[in-house]
Amino acid sequence: MNRVSVNPDICNGQPVISGTRITVKTILEFLAAGDSWDDILGEYPSLCDEDIRACLKYAVRLTDSHFVLREVA
């Protein structure tokens, strides 16, 4: 998980891919919209497959939390 970091001084404390200002949320939004990994890597050439995988792992870890969000369509 060292590929994802949280720093209150970067992107208002949102989780980002370490060493960048690219948020985990941004990558997940691309994937949710149906974009491929190649699309994302083309948009952000400084990223690699492992960065996208780390975003997905981060999201999975969030599901282990014991809170419920309202339903998302």
Q: Which domain holds residue 25?
A: 4-62
CATH of the domain at 23: 1.10.10.10
Residue 62 has a pLDDT of 86
Residue 71 lies in a domain: no
Residue 72 lies in a domain: no
Residue 73 lies in a domain: no
Q: Which of 34, 32, 27, 29 is nearest to 49 (CA)?
A: 27
The DSSP-derived string for 7-38 is: -TTSGGG--EETTSS-BHHHHHHHHHTT--HH
Residue 56 lies in a domain: yes
Q: In sequence order, what are the residues at sequence separation of 6 or more whose Cβ sits closer than 8 angstroms to the Cβ of residue 54?
A: 1, 3, 4, 17
pTM: 0.85
Contact 5, 15 (CB under 8 A): yes
The single-letter DSSP state of residue 68 is -
Q: Which pLDDT tens digit goes with each residue over 23-67?
A: 999 999 999 999 999 999 999 999 999 999 999 999 998 888 766
Residue 58 has a pLDDT of 93
Residue 68 has a pLDDT of 62
Residue 50 lies in a domain: yes
Please tell me the total count of domains within the chain: 1
Residue 18 has a pLDDT of 95
